[in-house]
Amino acid sequence: MIDLTGRAVLVTGAARGIGAAIAEAAAHAGARVGLLDIDADRLRHTAHRIGPAAAWAVCDITHEDQIADAVAALREELGPATGLVNNAGRNAYADPLTMTTDQWDEVFGVDLKSAWLMARAVLPDMLTAGHGSIVNIASMHATLTCPGMFPYAAAKSGLVGLTRSLALETGPHGVRVNAVSPGYIETDLLTEYFDREPPQVRQAATDKHILGRLGSPHDVATVVTFLLSDAAAFVTAADWAVDGGVSARFT
Ligand SMILES: NC(=O)c1ccc[n+]([C@@H]2O[C@H](COP(=O)([O-])OP(=O)(O)OC[C@H]3O[C@@H](n4cnc5c(N)ncnc54)[C@H](O)[C@@H]3O)[C@@H](O)[C@H]2O)c1
C-alpha cells in the first residue's frame, strides 16, 4: 500500500532492531535504502539480507566528519536522499549526582545532536528536490518516564522539540519532519533494559498494554514508511505514538 518507489532513504542505527526493520520495510515499499551504523558486521549482514536495494556505510553518527563521508558515499550509490530516518539511539541509566559531563555529552550526542547533524548533511539535497521527509525515532519517554533512566527522557523530549523546530524551518521548502515515539518494542535494547530489572517487570509491563502485548520492530517500521511516503503528505511536526496504548494508562 505504501509506495516509496524511486526514493532514496537513509536510516541510522540500521544494523539491528527497529532500524533494520525500517530499512527492510522501506526497501519492500520500493525505496533504495542507505544503512548507517557503528556495528560493521551486523550492518553488512542486514544489508545483504535486504538485497540489491540496500547500500551501507559504517558511521558513528556523533561525528560530523564520519557523517559527511558516509552520506557522500551513499549518495554515490543511491543518488540524493529525500528520506531520512534518525533511528540510532541508546538508553541511559545514569545517576544525576554522579554522572560526568562527558557521559551527559555521550547520551545527548547519540540521542539528540546526531539527528541535527544527519539532517544538516541531507537537507541540501531535499531542498534541491523541493521535497523530503525526515522521521526522528523518539520514545514514549519524551512524555512519560520511569526512575533509573536519567537523562534519556530529556534527550528524547529534546528530539521531539527538534522535530517541531526543524519542521517549521523546512516546511516552506516542501520538507516534512515528524517524530515517532515507540513504547516497549522487542529488540536487544529492550532485553538490555529488562535484564536490569526484577523478572516480574517484563510481565507487568506487558499487562499494562491496552493491546496485551509488547511491540515488534515491524510495528514501528510500518508507521515510519507511511510518514516517509506521500500518503502522509499533510503530516508534519507531529509525534506519532506506537506503543500499544501503554501511554494512555494512568497507573
Ligand atoms: N526498543 C524499544 O523498546 C524502544 C522504545 C522507545 C524508543 N526506542 C528508540 O528506537 C531506536 C532504536 O532502538 P532499538 O531498540 O532498535 O535499539 P538497538 O540497540 O537494538 O539498535 C540501535 C542501533 O543503533 C546503533 N548505534 C548506536 N549508537 C550509534 C552511533 N553512535 N552511530 C551509529 N549507530 C549507532 C547500534 O549499533 C544499533 O545497531 C532508538 O533511538 C531507541 O531509543 C526504542
Tell me the pLDDT tens digit for each residue of 173-199.
999 999 999 999 999 999 999 999 999
Domain contains 126: yes
Domain contains 232: yes
Strands 132-137 and 32-37: unpaired
Per-residue pLDDT tens digits for 40-83: 999 999 999 999 999 999 999 999 999 999 999 999 999 999 99
Domain contains 248: no
Domain contains 184: yes
- For residues 230 and 30, what is the distance between their CA atoms, to the nearest angstrom? 13
Residue 173's nearest CA partner among 131, 136, 220 is 131
Would you state the pLDDT for residue 249?
Answer: 87
Domain contains 150: yes
Residue 182's nearest CA partner among 208, 156, 149 is 156
Long-range interactions of 201-208: CB distance < 8 A, separation 24+:
205/246, 208/246, 208/249
- When pLDDT is cut at 50, 70 and 90, the band that residue 251 belongs to is confident
Residue 137's nearest CA partner among 19, 226, 2, 3 is 19
215 Cα nearest atom in ligand 1: 3
CATH number of the domain bearing residue 210: 3.40.50.720
Domain contains 247: no
DSSP 8-state class, residue 231:
G
Ligand 1, CB cutoff 6 Å, lining residues: 12-13, 15-19, 37-39, 59-62, 87-90, 110, 137, 139, 182, 184-185, 187-190
Count of the separate structural domains present in the chain: 1
Q: What percent of the chain has pLDDT over 90?
A: 98
Other C-beta atoms lying within 10 Å of the C-beta of residue 236? 20
42 Cα nearest atom in ligand 1: 39
Q: What percent of the chain has pLDDT over 70?
A: 100
Per-residue pLDDT tens digits for 100-124: 999 999 999 999 999 999 999 999 9
Domain contains 250: no
Domain that holds residue 125: 8-241
Per-residue pLDDT tens digits for 36-47: 999 999 999 999
Domain contains 251: no
